[in-house]
Amino acid sequence: MAKAKITFEDINQTVSVPAGTRIIEISEKIGAGVIYGCREGDCGTCMMEVTEGWNNLTEPSVLEEKVLRENMAGRHYRLACQAQILGDCKVKPA
């Protein structure tokens, strides 16, 4: 199975994961600072900044883009409950 590395910059911790893993599945187990509300892409609580490897995440859906827009997200922000890892990337809480 293809693997990828994700680094949580706030705790400077890297995890090697199977491609396709959602960030929400990793960040809580590792104790990173991304926090969650609805866990289904509606509330925007888990917004995070992708500092490297923006293209190594699945594309945001129309609904995710709407939530990001409403929450005045910066460039390269994503919802951790929605984004799946395809290749190496670095993230930190927004």
Partner 1 sequence: MADTLNVATWKEAVEFAPGVHWIGALDPTLRTFDIILKTANGTTYNSYLVRGSGGVAIIDTVKEGFEDEFFHRLESVARYDEIRVIVLNHLEPDHSGALPELMRRAPQARLYISTRATTMLKALLRPNREEPFEYTTVTTNDRVSLGDRHLRFLHTPFLHWPDTQCTYLEEQQVLFSGDVFGCHYCDSRLFNDRVGDFRFSFDYYYAHIMRPFKQWVMEALALIEPLKLKVVAPTHGPILRERPRRYVAHYRELSTSSLSRELGDTNKSLIIFYMSSYGNTARMAEAIYQGADTVEGVRVSLYDLEGGEVAPFVDLIEDADALLFGSPTINGDAVKPVWDLLSSLAVVNLKGKIGAAFGSYGWSGEAVRMVEDRMRGLKMRVPREGIRVKLIPTQEELDECTGFGREIANILVGKEVQRGVIEFSDLT
Question: Which positions ≥6 away from 5 have C-beta within 8 Å?
Answer: 14, 15, 16, 17, 88
Our finding on whether 48 is near partner 1 (CB under 8 A) is no
Our finding on whether 87 is near partner 1 (CB under 8 A) is no
Centroid of chain to Cα 32: 11
Residue type, 64: E
For partner 1, which stretch binds (CB under 8 A), given 28-36, 48-56, 75-83?
Answer: 28-36
**CB of 26: closest distance to partner 1 in angstroms?**
6
- Residue 87, both tokens: 């290749």
**CB of 27: closest distance to partner 1 in angstroms?**
10
Our finding on whether 55 is near partner 1 (CB under 8 A) is no
Separation CA 21–CA 6 (nearest Å):
10
Applying CB under 8 A, which residues contact partner 1? 5, 11-18, 21, 26, 28-33, 35-37, 45, 70-72, 93
